[in-house]
Amino acid sequence: MKIKNIHVHLTEEQIEARIKELGEEISAAYGDEPVCLICILKGSVFFTCELAKRITSPVAIEFMSVSSYGAEMSSSGVVRILHDLDASIEGRNVLLIEDIIDSGRTLSYLLENLKTRNPKSIKLCTLLDKPDRRVVDVPVDYVGFVIPDEFVVGYGLDYDQYYRNLPYIGFVEIEE
């Protein structure tokens, strides 16, 4: 597969404005209570960093790396934890940060896995939600943008590890 073109769907300014709003919503929800952000690597790094700067509650950041895609454009349905948390989340408020939710399989698995670790609370925040692709229902507490069923890159989202560095989110046009 070769990418012919990338069409801008969400500009850098639109993304920044929405992240600011999400930061305000999350700050209001947690108040002075600490919250542990769990960034799902690699795609959520850009979003997590920008969001963390806009949350006024005390914030800790942990990282997990999971895989369900490989070099494909759709989820394989098999979730593998490649890097687990370095610290315990027992008794802590947890906010799981994802770049995009489509089938829901990965997030459903992760939420169930993390609940077994006895956090005080656990919520889910995603930059992009693709509900037309949902196979497994997951409770999403904070959504940046709802997008149609198109393959996207940029702002942390990749195709075979490339295009994460784009400052916008764009729809991919495939060369035939």
- How far apart (Å, rounded) are the C-alpha atoms in residues 166 and 157? 9
Give the active site residues. Answer: 102
Question: Do the Cβ atoms of 86 and 60 come closer than 8 Å?
Answer: no
Cα 83–Cα 84–Cα 89 angle in degrees, nearest 5: 155
What token pair was written down for 96? 């799981």
Give the three-state DSSP class for 17: helix
Phi, psi of 10 (to 5 degrees): -125, 125
Amino acid at 94: V
Residues in the chain: 176
3-state helix, strand, coil in the chain (%, to 5): 25, 35, 40
